[in-house]
Amino acid sequence: MVGIVFSRWTTPILWVLNEHGRHRFVELERRITTITPKVLTERLRQLERDGLVVRTYHPEVPPRVEYEISELGRSLAPLFAALGEWSINLGKVEQARQDYDAREPVRSRRT
Amino acid sequence: MVGIVFSRWTTPILWVLNEHGRHRFVELERRITTITPKVLTERLRQLERDGLVVRTYHPEVPPRVEYEISELGRSLAPLFAALGEWSINLGKVEQARQDYDAREPVRSRRT
DNA sequence: CTGTATCCCGCAAGATACTG
DNA sequence: CAGTATCTTGCGGGATACAG
């Protein structure tokens, strides 16, 4: 259920469409540099089906397709804003991991 | 990166610890009824390592262990509040799916 | 009570190549 | 340009049994 919005790739896609408006397929590919076309297609289809993204097909040569965030997708804005603010704390998470990994493997379980 | 906080089980666990305070292992198990002990252990370890949850071991017989949300974990509260508010829209997502699935499988791709 | 140990499974995701 | 087709992999998660 939380996976509707938050997964490895749905969050970046929604974020970009929310912040920077309408995008063509290749534009999304360039902005989210490490995603592959296969995965981008799969996630876009899911988001379209869930009503969070609107896909517009322009029957031209060469073909042109545009993706934009829907009204329902826009309602996620406060959530993304909160996420953006919290991301300041990512460094603390990284620090916590290093501290945890530096502790004695066995004793740490009991104390 | 979003998986630090949002996954199938980390979100419910953090939510419970944030809303209802300190819990023992078995209390968490009961509150999150469908989770298995193995998975609960795995997610708690991850959250502990990430510094979002604090584990306290009481060397008694029988052993007692308590989990509570950390200071860093508390900083997620606004995010959870935003998530809670957005969840009103889950019905719209369900409706969008039904509409999508009801459309003609082939023509819908081109128009 | 608080976990571990195995074994298995599904599915998102990655690599690579190809098409209308 | 905007995808599809295949194949493979990694990892979270489920079932079940067992241990300190």
Note whether residue A109 is domain-resident: no
Burial label for B1, CB within 10 Å (0-12, 13-18, 19+), is: exposed
CA distance B93 to A60: 31
Q: How confident is the model at residue A1 (pLDDT cuts 50, 70, 90)?
A: confident
Q: How many domains does chain B have?
A: 1
Rounded to an integer, the average pLDDT of B66-73 is 98
B61 at interface of A, judged by CB pairs closer than 8 A: no
Domain span including residue B17: 2-103
Query: Residue A79 domain-assigned?
Result: yes
CA dihedral B83, B86, B89, B91 (to 10 degrees): 30
Within-domain flag for A108:
no
Q: In the predicted model, is pLDDT for residue A111 greater than 60?
A: no
Task: Determine whether the interchain pair B86/A96 forms a contact, defined as Cβ–Cβ distance below 8 Å.
Answer: no
CATH number of A94's domain: 1.10.10.10
- Residue B49: which of A59, A92, A100 has the nearest Cβ? A100
Q: What is the pLDDT of residues B85-101, one digit of tens each?
A: 999 999 999 999 999 99
Give me the mean pLDDT over the B5-30 stretch: 98
Length of chain B: 111
Task: Name the E strands within chain A.
Answer: 23-24, 53-58, 64-69
Q: How far is residue A5 CA from its own chain's centroid? A: 8
| A107 has a pLDDT exceeding 50 | no
